[in-house]
Structure 1
């Protein structure tokens, strides 16, 4: 049941809400989980024995009374995902049958059932019997059941009534354990911050690798020439790691500059946090150098600064300079923009993600913008008013959903041209350093940021990630408002009634206007696998 509990939407945001008339179900689906909860009403005061059968794993929990807070797991089928039983087969595992439980007539008892199905036959039965030598099990039926709450008049966005228990609770705020050997190098602690100092003389910076057009270029099918081992490795590998022999000369040159100034001479290196290189062959290399330093009084400082090194010669000492007009603004406001329609559970989860970032960082210089195409399953403005966010803007739009039109409507709400826009999607899990990461890799008039997201496989989660880097899409982009205005904004004419390809068209204009694109795999940045059920109609999708 771990994949179910680790799902980011569990237990508050199911695909479907419904009722059952008996504690026996067989939806005939694959790769799903379900949670059933309500009240049990015994017909007489006596000792009862409970039993469960299921395919695959399941659990039955019962409270001592009507409170969800007093749950205890009574019976279950398996814990690894490989165990199963036939329908009504209550004796395959010892864990399937409970010890006697005393229940009192005219009392009601909160219960909860969990089922996780992988593939093949699916079913679940919860049965009971009086504690008799000749007792027989029978499935619990409607006359002994009642609703925890009538949801018939509620919207999908209404979640405050859903009980959270020992068996099922929201794990959003629980820290994700760091694995020493995560699969595909997907998770690693990233403590970078945004303190920096100006240490170097300015130098001209005119990269030669900017190209004029990509939208109409047919890409080389490299994948067809790769072995399966190489292809699978590329799908899950992180950013290319620079060798120590290439990184340390840059670090030493940085420290030499630091120690050449009176006010920073007392600082020493505690550790190298990160060195990112953008190579410009035969001309020079741009670096983002991030170091953790310790001062003469033991105070720690994080330095994060762009530097440029002319074509490097291993025989000579490396000399660094600050690329002219190429620095990031640590206090720039970042606007997270998303367009939505009738995606209540994902909208709420997006807002919760933004709350998580704000709660972890206290960063007041970011703003959430939601453009809503008249959603009928949630009152988004009401949800935003309740949220703990530094600021937000909301606009309701009429007509069919348009991604480009919605994003442009969000862009138009931003007045400060020196702030950063981050165009994004709903189904994302964000690292808490996302705002700082966007700021670091957006340089006004010079560079936009298109972080690569990890697309999770079905059943995977941020706690147990498995999937591949989505290297072919540019739909997630950070760009200064002034730069977006200069390149003409979103293409709402060609992509008015469709989406798919608008990201590459935007990328084409970004490059055509002389802007660099910083492309990095961002750890702890995930795109959730999700059902297409309820997604927006798009008959003309490109």
Structure 2
């Protein structure tokens, strides 16, 4: 019966027709579904002008930009109040400017923590064509569109750099849809009025009615190069008219914002294009520090009761040899006396993702890096070892020859190599650096000036950025060389330079082929021959590189003859030892434990390094010794789960201090947190064996409990921030504190804001509206003074045995910040100065691009009793000028005999900002 219903043989014979019919049926169903959906939305998906490619790009781009409404829509749908539209709104559109933000893509604008609620500027425009004279900014233009007639329109956008045009199906901001855009990667741009450069710039037919108004918004970003502009135009289809700019007759405001404070954001529309949604760590992030770490959430694990830890170790006095009580510290020299603590296991605070710009961690001299790279870390096997030695001498000979011929060298300036950014990231034009990737061989600073002039010299705005390679620098190549067929030839005199593009394709390609062909077979020795060849030619002619690896020479228009000469030269100059059957060379490589070479001294010349790593061979035996002591005290009660964190502070004279943070499991199987400071005393009285032939066994660590040196898990932490007229940053700080309380449910931390009578927001009202469990507000008058503002906040704290954290306004805090402050502050003994990561312009916490602020000590946790003992803030000397108050306070803390814990704190960021509006009267 089944065979009668499904004749398999007939189906197999007609399988092609069956497959075709199925595909055709599916196609008809898809088209019908799209037409039905379009009718509901009022938008026509058929794109006559741009075809299937535009539709496919539209789908891909929309997937990148349209977020899941289930996940994020609730975060912004109810967070604004739609204003009542009035006829007097016609003739203008709202414009919000987000200044001091780097990037060329709209995705970069969305990473701005102030977007879209807290723009720097709120104003209006009379038409959808703007040409700001700023640099590094983003714009959001929004309002209503009023069509002048019924019909089908096409809307287009043009800009430099990227931009987007969104249009709603009605007057609601919730129904916007992306219609046209210029790029999404940040590399796309168009000149003013150019609407047909990219297929995505022009929308398909859109049916609009003159009886309705439609909400629209434009997003636009601009870096510090080029001519900033963005314009939106439209045209009525089926007519001969071209695109015309949408002017004042056809736009109106979304809301009137005159007289509003920066903190008044209730009427700012949040849409699918622009809503306040900051994602957490991205799964594909390149920064190792963004990986999930047990340290980050260990504060949530319940602590082992201190009663179980009493008597586990014998008590001993804690008197480190490095404290400076009674010793006068010269002014601002305390920063050189603070030492780093060692960390186990690796916390990935080394900024490996930023080392494309700097390699200072390898401690190589810049000139050695440019000449030899990392060749000293590898030793070739067999005959290759000899060839490496042969090359050392010509390079040395060339240096000597340069000196003899009077070649002038540029002095080495190591400071420029190792310090990636000494100047504050917020200083004027320096706030917006244009970072370019540099090869290790790019910088001619360490090489003789005797170089060819590039065709790009004196062409500041030339659009082609050229990459330099080892083959471009004749300084690298030996002076003693074989005679070339071109030597002593006057056949090609230099009469006149031709255009940089003359014959570039033919000549440049031949040169590229001759340099790189068969590199795998010939190896480094053949390239040496080619380089000698090139240098002899360069002595006669001035080559020009117009693209990476592509050169144009005005002296040789004849490609064929040039090819013939090049092949003869290579053949003539080929080394005698060339072996075409040479196997792939091998080498000896040793394990490089670069972290073991680091010291606890702060490296002010390298701001990428991160915490100094403690070896497992030292940390794990110490943990085992402590757990053995715990087992002896409480048999069978606790067992080790895993080692979460070990922090070591070195004292070579008396013994090192350790913080052990261990995950232990009690007898009932419950996970607990053990967090205890211990002391490992030096065995100074132990005598060495005289018989050196017998290997001496390493003695077990001599552990003890440092009396009085334990952290208080119940201590209240007061975060103190002075402010004045920084509304958007104050609101962001309050939001950060709300997040911390929500994540930790810690009721023992308090936010204190001392406000110098801010006029741009009601700070007290914002605190009252927040969900913070504890806060204090103090209104001050006069000019902004950081020292006085901090001291005023300290004076509000009544409990001397609590911790004050002297803080900055522009921070992003890790969720364990309160616990970290408690853990590393010990009353009477130690303050805590974490190293914060300063984000680059345009960077967000979830991509962590920036550098460690190794010189700053303005973020300081200390018990109030200790701060009072050293004299508090210096309010007389440091008033309304920036800088120095943190170093001066550090000097006095060290003079008071306190230790200062200095570690690089994961996920602790200083947001990029300029100094605009700061320290104002």
CA distance in 2, matches of 1:114, 1:30: 16
What's the CA shift for 1:250? 1.5
CA distance in 2, matches of 1:230, 1:104: 62
- The answer to whether residue 726 in structure 2 is matched with residue 336 in structure 1 is no
- 2:607 pairs with one of 235, 238, 247: 235
Aligned positions of 1:147-162 closer than 5 A: 147-162=253-268
Match of 1:98 in 2: 203
Distance 1:273 1:142, change over 3 A: same
Match of 2:231 in 1: 125
Aligned positions of 1:154-173 closer than 5 A: 154-172=260-278
Match of 1:466 in 2: 849
Match of 2:133 in 1: 28
CA distance in 1, matches of 2:807, 2:205: 54
| DSSP-derived class of the 2:778 partner | strand
Match of 1:271 in 2: 642
Give unmatched runs, 5+ long, in structure 1: none
Distance 1:442 1:179, change over 3 A: farther
CA distance in 2, matches of 1:217, 1:418: 28
Match of 1:201 in 2: 314
CA distance in 2, matches of 1:402, 1:230: 34
8 Å CA contact 1:339, 1:370 repeated in 2: yes
CA distance in 1, matches of 2:125, 2:314: 72
Distance 1:17 1:261, change over 3 A: same
What's the CA shift for 1:88? 0.9
- The answer to whether residue 756 in structure 2 is matched with residue 373 in structure 1 is yes
Aligned-residue Cα RMSD (Å) equals: 2.2
| DSSP-derived class of the 1:192 partner | helix
Q: Which has the higher strand share?
A: 1
- 1:64 pairs with one of 143, 164, 169: 169
- 2:123 pairs with one of 1, 15, 18: 18
| DSSP-derived class of the 1:274 partner | strand
CA distance in 1, matches of 2:754, 2:619: 44
CA distance in 2, matches of 1:336, 1:179: 33
- The answer to whether residue 539 in structure 2 is matched with residue 424 in structure 1 is no
Q: C-alpha offsets along residues 440-471 of structure 1, whole Å, 9 cap, x if unaligned?
A: 11111111111111111111111222111111
8 Å CA contact 2:755, 2:780 repeated in 1: yes
- The answer to whether residue 657 in structure 2 is matched with residue 286 in structure 1 is yes
Aligned positions of 1:342-357 closer than 5 A: 342-357=725-740
- 1:310 pairs with one of 670, 681, 688: 681
| DSSP-derived class of the 1:158 partner | coil
Match of 1:137 in 2: 243
Moved more, 208-217 or 439-448: 208-217
Q: What is the number of residues matched between the two proteins?
A: 534
Match of 2:898 in 1: 515
- The answer to whether residue 682 in structure 2 is matched with residue 319 in structure 1 is no
CA distance in 1, matches of 2:610, 2:773: 32
Moved more, 438-447 or 483-492: 483-492
Aligned positions of 1:462-501 closer than 5 A: 462-501=845-884
What's the CA shift for 1:268? 2.7
Aligned positions of 1:181-220 closer than 5 A: 181-182=286-287, 185=289, 189=293, 190-193=296-299, 195-196=303-304, 197=306, 198=309, 199-211=312-324, 212-216=327-331
8 Å CA contact 1:423, 1:476 repeated in 2: yes
CA distance in 2, matches of 1:225, 1:300: 54
* Structure label with greater radius of gyration: 2
CA distance in 2, matches of 1:181, 1:319: 42
8 Å CA contact 2:286, 2:847 repeated in 1: no
8 Å CA contact 1:215, 1:505 repeated in 2: no
CA distance in 1, matches of 2:196, 2:881: 55
| DSSP-derived class of the 1:409 partner | helix
CA distance in 2, matches of 1:351, 1:186: 24
CA distance in 1, matches of 2:682, 2:803: 32
- The answer to whether residue 160 in structure 2 is matched with residue 55 in structure 1 is yes
Q: C-alpha offsets along residues 211-270 of structure 1, whole Å, 9 cap, x if unaligned?
A: 3344525688x999857775559312221121111211121122212322337x343322
| DSSP-derived class of the 1:504 partner | helix
| DSSP-derived class of the 2:144 partner | strand
Distance 1:51 1:489, change over 3 A: same
| DSSP-derived class of the 1:85 partner | coil
What's the CA shift for 1:133? 4.8
- The answer to whether residue 818 in structure 2 is matched with residue 435 in structure 1 is yes
Distance 1:119 1:161, change over 3 A: same
Aligned positions of 1:32-51 closer than 5 A: 32-51=137-156
| DSSP-derived class of the 1:235 partner | coil
What's the CA shift for 1:188? 5.1
CA distance in 1, matches of 2:284, 2:831: 32
8 Å CA contact 2:880, 2:919 repeated in 1: no
Moved more, 336-345 or 128-137: 128-137
Match of 1:116 in 2: 221
What's the CA shift for 1:179? 5.2
8 Å CA contact 1:371, 1:397 repeated in 2: yes
CA distance in 2, matches of 1:469, 1:487: 28
| DSSP-derived class of the 1:216 partner | coil
Q: Which has the higher helix share?
A: 2
CA distance in 1, matches of 2:888, 2:877: 10
Moved more, 451-460 or 30-39: 30-39
Q: C-alpha offsets along residues 447-506 of structure 1, whole Å, 9 cap, x if unaligned?
A: 111111111111111122211111111111001111111111111111134331111111
Match of 2:107 in 1: 2
Match of 1:395 in 2: 778
Match of 2:397 in 1: none
| DSSP-derived class of the 2:125 partner | coil
CA distance in 1, matches of 2:168, 2:314: 70
- 1:251 pairs with one of 615, 623, 648: 623
CA distance in 1, matches of 2:863, 2:883: 23
Match of 2:828 in 1: 445
CA distance in 2, matches of 1:257, 1:62: 70
What's the CA shift for 1:101? 1.3
- The answer to whether residue 793 in structure 2 is matched with residue 410 in structure 1 is yes
Q: C-alpha offsets along residues 288-318 of structure 1, whole Å, 9 cap, x if unaligned?
A: 1111223343321222111111127971112
CA distance in 1, matches of 2:717, 2:332: 32
- 2:634 pairs with one of 254, 262, 266: 262
8 Å CA contact 1:294, 1:300 repeated in 2: yes
CA distance in 1, matches of 2:291, 2:813: 12
Aligned positions of 1:63-82 closer than 5 A: 63-82=168-187
- 2:769 pairs with one of 386, 396, 412: 386
Match of 2:66 in 1: none
8 Å CA contact 1:423, 1:478 repeated in 2: yes
CA distance in 1, matches of 2:705, 2:204: 73
8 Å CA contact 1:31, 1:459 repeated in 2: no
Distance 1:81 1:411, change over 3 A: same
8 Å CA contact 1:127, 1:139 repeated in 2: yes
CA distance in 2, matches of 1:467, 1:496: 30
Moved more, 85-94 or 27-36: 27-36
8 Å CA contact 1:187, 1:524 repeated in 2: no
